Chains A and B, each alone.
Chain A
Amino acid sequence: MSEFDTSFDFDGRRVPFRPGQTLGAALVAAGTTAWRTTRLEGRPRGLFCGIGVCFDCLLTVDGHANQRACLVVARDGMTALTQEGTGHDDT
């Protein structure tokens, strides 16, 4: 998995990325398809629209909740966390 020398931290795991990729693209490339659970039923979600429209792909990045993984460009050393429940204002 060490094809690239750039990586971010996802739930304590190192995820390599090709510079210019979004967090979502790097996660999918690393075989992770879900990184959020829904508010009511706790169902797993990941990318759906891929372009910032659906808000299914939310995660917490460097302490900021509700970031769209399909839009945020990965940076070396970033920390991303699975997001549980809403993330509306209860974070």
Chain B
Amino acid sequence: MTTPDLTPSGADHDVVVIGAGPAGMACVATLLAETSLTVGLVDAGHGAGGQYWRQPAPVPTPHPGEPAPRRAGLHHDLATFHRLRDALDRGAASGRLATRFAHHVWSVTANDPGPVAEGGFAVHVVDRSGRPGDESTSTITGRALVIATGAFDRALPFPGWDLPGVMTVGGLQALLKAGDVAAGRRVAIGGTGPFLLPVAAALAARGSTVVGVFEANHPVRWLRESRAVARNVGKLGEGAGYAATLLRHRVPLRPRRMIVAAHGTDRVEAVSVARVGRDGRPVEGSAERHTVDAVGVGWGFTPQLDIAVTLGLRLTRDRGGTPVVEVDRLHRSSRPRVYAAGETCGVGGAALALVEGRLAARGVAHDLTGADPASHPAPGPDGVAAVRLGAFADAIISAHPVPVGWVDALTDETIVCRCEEVRFGAVRAAIEAGATDARQVKQLTRTGMGWCQGRVCGYAAALLSAGAPGEPDERLIGAPMPLGALAQTDDQHDAM
């Protein structure tokens, strides 16, 4: 990696963008095209693309014996991906862009004294491009920071969800996109939201039997949001495309159904599926059993807010009550020179993430190139598109609530916190003893105290105790650090 020339302020780059998904890629491409600013792009993945355009890790030497990958129909909008990736490659070749892939951001500090003269941000990264044990740390500084770290699957506990073979739908999709692996031969898909469809379609196209897409809500709810839907026929067309694939492979679409249990001893062997009544509760006696060897569940996505919380950015709530970064129309956060784009400021899919990435780039350009920071330039056509796609995202969220009856499926034996193996009985006792939010449940039961720091069970713990998603905790960003790498961090600071 060549070190770029320092900016006049002494920072490594004018802008550091964290996350190379659709939002981060669009932001960088726009910065390169419309400004002369220098950019550093960091992503924990092995290349650009994010979740939407997830790729296998690059292979250093071609393997002649390798069969052609079966990837057809898996990735969408690949022309846009290639155009953005080419723009990034040109930026890197010209020296204006420095990319660091396989670099995990574990902390961000503001106004770090030393390398940055007047304000700015120090982004602390672990380089995981080598073998396990070879991690090293370093710091990247920038005058402005764009947070485009995306989201992760939202899961809810149910009996047996801790059996091997039960995964999140995003996890199933990631296995397919990056590994070309179908997690099972007979798969049940459950939860809510339009994302269940592409995953089921991809599995079916890959040869798996999808025993059903068990959608807790009903498509009729879409009609209530018909204005937003009508303005986004393009997006619906995509949904219709999946529907055609599902029809071709005879995948049953089962609205108002919910997976209420997974069965098996050392791995999943079957699921029970119940009908969801008008009251949002599983209808007693309606359960049917399906033999499966894999299960995918997803209840939407939770924005990845660790960096935003660390920097104290003001948060707001989306239409479903989920905390997201509060931004203005140019995606400026409450903190000067910090911007957020993509799923971090509201889950809305790849098309919206692209638009938001471009808007954030214009916000950066406006603020860093000497314009009056208090003035608000017109966001232009992208601003209009953002409003339109945002309304669509709201419609999707409103049409796919988590049904209240998910709780009915739990028994006292159901694991809630997978890391610390805390069962629902213990969580219930804590709530009965007066715990009114996820933090108190955690103090009383260790729910959310394990390796994942509550990323997986935090949503459930908040719903159970407070009836709504909670404020995100301040967490170590991403991952526990290898001790050796941490020790090395101190050396680095001394050397700077």
A residues engaging B (CB < 8 A)?
A: 3-6, 18-22, 24-26, 28-29, 33-34, 38-41, 43-56, 58, 61-64, 66-67, 70-73, 75, 78
Hey, which chain B residues are within 8 Å of A70, CB to CB? Answer: 171, 174
**B114 at the binding interface (Cβ < 8 Å):** no
Hey, which chain B residues are within 8 Å of A43, CB to CB? Answer: 162, 421
A-contacting 9-mer, from B1-9, B54-62, B401-409: B54-62
Contact with A along B455-477 (1 / 0, CB 8 A): 11000000000000000000000
Contact residues of B: prevailing secondary structure: loop
In the complex, the answer to whether B172 meets A50 with C-beta atoms within 8 Å is: yes
**B66 at the binding interface (Cβ < 8 Å):** yes
In the complex, the answer to whether A5 meets B63 with C-beta atoms within 8 Å is: yes
Of all chain A residues, which has the CB nearest B129? Answer: A73
Q: Contacts A5-B65, A20-B59, A45-B162: A50 and B266 contacting too (C-beta < 8 A)?
A: no
Of all chain B residues, which has the CB nearest A56? Answer: B418
In the complex, the answer to whether B456 meets A52 with C-beta atoms within 8 Å is: no
In the complex, the answer to whether A55 meets B451 with C-beta atoms within 8 Å is: yes
Contact with A along B139-168 (1 / 0, CB 8 A): 000000000000011010000001011111
Hey, which chain A residues are within 8 Å of B58, CB to CB? Answer: 20
8 Å CB contact of B165 from A33, A55, A62 = A33
Q: Contacts A21-B179, A48-B166, A54-B456: A73 and B57 contacting too (C-beta < 8 A)?
A: yes
Hey, which chain B residues are within 8 Å of A47, CB to CB? Answer: 164, 167, 171, 175, 183
* Bound form: Cα–Cα A70–B166 in Å: 15
Interface size on B, residues (CB 8 A): 50
Hey, which chain B residues are within 8 Å of A4, CB to CB? Answer: 63, 65-66
8 Å CB contact of B419 from A21, A49, A55 = A55
* Bound form: Cα–Cα A38–B65 in Å: 38
**B452 at the binding interface (Cβ < 8 Å):** yes
Distance in angstroms from B252 CB to nearest chain A CB is 24
In the complex, the answer to whether A49 meets B164 with C-beta atoms within 8 Å is: no
**B370 at the binding interface (Cβ < 8 Å):** no
In the complex, the answer to whether B455 meets A54 with C-beta atoms within 8 Å is: yes
In the complex, the answer to whether A49 meets B133 with C-beta atoms within 8 Å is: no
Of all chain B residues, which has the CB nearest A72? Answer: B132
* Bound form: Cα–Cα A48–B294 in Å: 11
In the complex, the answer to whether A21 meets B56 with C-beta atoms within 8 Å is: yes
* Bound form: Cα–Cα A25–B174 in Å: 9
Distance in angstroms from B303 CB to nearest chain A CB is 12
